[in-house]
A and B are shown apart, each in its own frame.
Chain A
Amino acid sequence: MTNSAQYDIQSIRDDFPILERKIFDKPLVYLDNGASTQHPTAVINAVKNLYEHSYANVHRGVHTLSQEASNLYDDARVKVRGFIHASCVHEVVFTSGATESINLVAQCYARPRLKKGDEILITHMEHHSNIVPWQMVCEQTGAELKVVPISDKGELEMDQFHALLSEKTKMVSVVHVSNALGTVNPITSIINAAHELGVPVLVDGAQAIPHLPVNVKNLDADFYVFSGHKIYGPTGIGVLYGKEKLLNEMPPYKGGGDMILSVTFEETIYNQLPYKFEAGTPNIAGAVGLGAAIDYVNKIGIGTIAAHEHGLLMYATSKLEQIDGLRIIGEADQKAGLISFVLDGVHPHDIGTILDGEGVAIRAGHHCAQPIMERYNVPATARASFAMYNTFQEIDVLAEAIKKTINMFN
């Protein structure tokens, strides 16, 4: 709470129109940010302005609107580059989201290189989107998937990581912040160890990007992926950051327009980065919205947001720990943005429905991370995940609603 003096939470909340909503006549307490964040007026207006004033297809027309739309689209890429500190703009590829970004790397980087006997190393705390694309590559190439186990606290077993990393390993893909546990993984150590063996590393930053400052150059990440809608931007837009050298070595993902320099029926010359990976008319409004979201986050400051959310996390953890029969799943020393929990005798879906009746939106389920649920022997968890606009008072509402739920079932 130390930041509340500098942190003007009310003016931030005023920027998010949906926070005015009442749910069952109660103020909305939106704690499902891990699934998707809400949008500030600046993002909504950026998309609106594009459609009202500057919309046309990009990179094609010589007319004014096409030029304006192209400029806005290209500006968004510049903003992403700055936000993640990539070396150059063409290392930023727009995709439909983190899922497509991972699939792109799996199919265009890993698949052509891997063969029987090779290994791909992931962790037990991956989202399905960082498991299934690699399983597909394993099926296609005969490579084998290896999984770094996690401890009871929800931290990677780093000695096991080092033991599993070998000259057979051809790709490491690891989540930066776990969507189901909140764990912040020691990405730098992982990348350094992998690089010593010449193994490239993909970092799934979907849950990290809204909560932590990310510098892909300092991390020395080979690939870094995230989705726009988890950082206050629109759905359907995401980012693949890749080192220029690696992206250049990769074949295109999809064939079509905008990804070519010239086409004849005999031969097609692919366009340069990043367009090589952006076949077809892109999600122009999505990119423009993401650019506006990044501007908005920069205005508040990602470090400032991180500090506020850390305060919320500490406060919520201490509040929830005091509730009898509540068990927090994921107690890593380094956590960001969320708390997963279960209640004795109350299934997470019932928690979710009853909390909704109190205006509190949380996620209940397996969070697309079924291996984690199995690891902790729970069918599902309830998850409260935080964003820049959440308040300490909302945590109090959450805690009271949880107590009400417990009383109802006992």
Chain B
Amino acid sequence: MDNLRDLYQEVILDHNKNPRNFRKMEEPDGFAHGKNPLCGDQIDVYLKITDGVVEDVSFDGNGCAICTSSASMMTTALKGKTEAEAEALFNSFHHALTDEGTFPDDVPLGKLEVLTGVKDYPVRVKCATLAWHTFDAALKKMQGNVSTE
């Protein structure tokens, strides 16, 4: 159970139970639907961008604790970031979870650091990255499905 506590830390359980920015957004600038076909996690990400800055970001959907808390933390981390900063954070987060090593452009993860325990559970990495991939798709104004496959 000790190992699992590294994965299911209090902050993760809290974001799962009380997800932040968990709402549908009316008239978003960007929107994407993401799903993990393997496990059935589904998430919608909504974006409002003003002058290249993430003014608002929200999500709704249905996922496991890792998926939901990662989406929740993502929304709090992204607000106020420029598009370029947001992309950099996405890339850094992805590198940290997939254990591809650190890259020169990586930025500090801050509070998102608690999610890096997921890398010890390879089948759950996609749960943690789904919201980010969906955000990425929304940002690129790609309408339609984004799959983590």
Please report A residues at the B interface, Cβ cutoff 8 Å. 24, 345-350, 353-354, 357-358, 364-366, 370, 373, 379-380, 404, 408-409
Contacts and interface: CB of A to CB of B under 8 A. Distances in A.
B131 to A, nearest CB: 14
Given A353-B121, A365-B38, A348 B13 contact: no
A379 B65 CA distance: 13
Q: Which 8 residue pairs are nearest across A and B when measured between Cβ atoms?
A: A347-B64, A349-B64, A357-B4, A379-B40, A350-B65, A380-B40, A379-B62, A350-B64
B63 A347 contact: yes
B22 to A, nearest CB: 14
A370 B42 CA distance: 13
Contacts of A366: 39-40
Interface in B5-35: 7-8, 13, 16-17
Given A358-B1, A409-B16, A409-B17, A349 B8 contact: no
A353 B7 contact: yes
Contact of A350 (B1, B8, B42, B62): B8
A402 to B, nearest CB: 14
Nearest to B4: A357
Nearest to A364: B39
A379 B41 contact: yes
Contacts of B1: 357-358, 404
B149 to A, nearest CB: 15
A349 B4 contact: no
Nearest to A366: B40
A373 B8 contact: no
A404 B5 CA distance: 12
B124 interface: yes
B3 interface: yes
24 contacts: A24-B3, A345-B17, A347-B64, A347-B68, A349-B39, A349-B64, A349-B66, A349-B124, A349-B127, A350-B8, A350-B65, A353-B7, A353-B121, A354-B8, A364-B39, A365-B38, A366-B40, A370-B40, A379-B40, A379-B62, A380-B39, A408-B8, A408-B13, A409-B65
A365 B62 CA distance: 13
A311 B43 CA distance: 41
B40 A365 contact: yes
A409 B68 CA distance: 13
Contact of A353 (B17, B42, B124): B124
Nearest to B61: A379
A371 B36 CA distance: 16
A350 B66 contact: yes
